[in-house]
Amino acid sequence: MQPWVHGHFRWNELLTRDIERAKSFYGQSIGWTFKPAPGPAGIYWIAKAGDAKVAGLFHLASPAFDGVAEGWMPYLAVDFVDARVHQAQLLGARLMRPIFDVPNVGRIAILREPGGAGVGWITPVKDR
């Protein structure tokens, strides 16, 4: 993965209720392969184009995600996620869940910006 730059898109994640359907679709249509990565919410699937990690597939299996629509969630790299979220909230954004850390990945916030679009912000762990 390329070094991150503040304000640039860092990662994309497909939120889906049917992981196997998504893997089949993107595998057959785009040529992605998939590698499982264990996580606190179960298996997270890393999509790869050749050797490059290009996206993740997140399974909306928990009842906590019942109101969440399937779709793509982009993640922007930010220099200091906590401070940036505070500023975003002053500007009308809403934090969808508490800011959290993913080991070996980074500190993450899931926001709904003032227009209603969902977006993730991440301060990657290696450069934080």
pLDDT in tens, 85-123: 999 999 999 999 999 998 889 999 999 999 999 999 999
Whether 3 has a pLDDT exceeding 90, the answer reads no
- Average pLDDT (67-95) is 94
Tell me the average pLDDT of the chain.
Answer: 92
pLDDT of residue 1: 63
CA dist., res. 102 & res. 126, Å (int):
12
Per DSSP, the three-state class of 106 is: strand
CA dist., res. 46 & res. 13, Å (int):
9
Q: Judge contact between 125 and 105, C-beta under 8 A.
A: yes
Whether 128 has a pLDDT exceeding 50, the answer reads no
Q: In which residue are the tokens 């990690």 written?
A: 53
Q: Which domains does the chain have, with CATH numbers?
A: 9-61+70-127 (3.10.180.10)
- Average pLDDT (22-44) is 93
